[in-house]
Structure 1
Amino acid sequence: MASPWRTALLALLAAQAASRARGLDEEDVPAEWVLLHVVQGQVGAGNYSYLRLSHEGRIVLRLRSLRGDADLYVSDGTLHPSFDDYELQSATCGQDAVAVPARFRRPVGIGVYGHPSHLESQFEMRVYLDATADPLGAADTPAGSPQRTPAPEDGPRDDESVLWTLLFSVLKLVLEVLF
């Protein structure tokens, strides 16, 4: 009785995984972004790996966890940002990204945190210069506004949300049938 549902669920999960894998290989970045660096590293559970950003201008950091779950913390006030002391952060289970405003003092501290749910997290971070941004930083958020700048992935992604909604609906249905 549950076998057809299980097969359908596994097929749906496989399709979702294949779709996500293709999306990570074919990164969709605007043509105006200039790739400055690609940094690969690893960080242990509950630990930080620190980097410094000296490039001027609006910089976009995209962190992808290759294994485990790495999170991103950024600060222009300390070279060792953490989840207690940061200006920008992205801590998702997927790709993390932040846009560092041009107005941030350099060097900017970058902390990559290894989530304790995994013994070790391997990551790849791509550093882009957003050439469309105003070099003087006038296009960045004004002083006095909240410090967190929206990441490029914060916008609505209709195709992804529909797939997740469908996946959760099927999963709920399977769980109701089984239990």
Structure 2
Amino acid sequence: MKKKFAILVLVVYFQTSLACVSGTDEHLLHFVTDDVPSGSYKYYSLMYDGLIKIQLTSQSGDADIYVSQTTTKPTYEPEYFCLRSATCGEDIIFIPKSFKRPVGIGVYGHPSHDISKYSLSVYQLPVPADEGEIESTYGAEATLHKDHTLKKERPSFAVALLWSLIDILFQVFFL
């Protein structure tokens, strides 16, 4: 238990450090850790305005995220979600400013694991000067069924090197 807590503290610390080093303008609005059983959902409601980044990190198992501006309980069925990220590991979704609030968020526990433990972080991002480009990418009139991410600059060499060293240290000490 102590080892898991120490790992979680280190992960949160290094994610925060990376955000400071990389110069992002993300503002953490909410952070929660929870678990979801296989084949079930945990639902959240997003009321914050503006451009929002939702980051779902699976600590064990495989949790996926589904988002909708039309229903408060999105599912993996195409007619019940607007955005999704169903990858193994870290899932990131950007909620455009134009999405109607409240936005429904569903965290789904993949059936390949009995239980999926996850952390969910919600960030507010500054709206870029060329807001039209984002709005056309995430047009509210169309139902989106693909994984979406905004184009981001690659991290600097120093940040990439720092993350590589952190990863090596993490593997040496904890695995």
Range into which the TM-score falls when normalised by the shorter chain: 0.5 to 0.7
1:104 aligns with 2:102: no
Q: Tell which structure's C-alpha radius of gyration is larger.
A: 1
**1:71–1:115 contact (8 Å) kept in structure 2:** yes
Supply the distance in 1 between the matched residues of 2:131 and 2:43 (Cα, whole angstroms): 25
Partner of 2:165: none
Supply the distance in 2 between the matched residues of 1:45 and 1:31 (Cα, whole angstroms): 35
Partner of 2:28: 35
Q: RMSD of the TM alignment (CA)?
A: 3.2
Q: Deviations over 1:99-146 (max 9, x none)?
A: 000000000000000001110111101100002446x95442324667
Which region of structure 1 is more displaced relative to structure 2, 26-35 or 137-146? 137-146
**1:64–1:123 contact (8 Å) kept in structure 2:** yes
Supply the distance in 1 between the matched residues of 2:40 and 2:30 (Cα, whole angstroms): 23
Deviation at 1:41, TM superposition (A): 1.0
Partner of 1:119: 114
Distance 1:99 1:68, change over 3 A: same
TM-score scaled by length of structure 1: 0.66
Deviation at 1:75, TM superposition (A): 0.5
Supply the distance in 1 between the matched residues of 2:112 and 2:153 (Cα, whole angstroms): 27
Deviation at 1:42, TM superposition (A): 0.9
1:141 aligns with 2:135: yes
Listed as ranges, the gaps of 5+ residues in structure 2 are 1-9, 161-175
Q: Percent of counterpart pairs with the same letter?
A: 35
Choose the corresponding residue for 1:150, options 148, 151, 155: 148
Partner of 1:167: none
Q: Deviations over 1:1-29 (max 9, x none)?
A: xxxxxxxxxxxxxxxxxxxxx88762244
Choose the corresponding residue for 1:67, options 60, 63, 68: 60
Which AA in structure 2 matches 1:91?
A
Partner of 1:26: 14
The number of residues matched between the two structures is: 139
Supply the distance in 2 between the matched residues of 1:76 and 1:95 (Cα, whole angstroms): 22
Supply the distance in 1 between the matched residues of 2:117 and 2:151 (Cα, whole angstroms): 21
Supply the distance in 2 between the matched residues of 1:96 and 1:56 (Cα, whole angstroms): 21
Listed as ranges, the gaps of 5+ residues in structure 1 are 1-21, 160-179
Distance 1:95 1:32, change over 3 A: same
Supply the distance in 2 between the matched residues of 1:82 and 1:126 (Cα, whole angstroms): 20
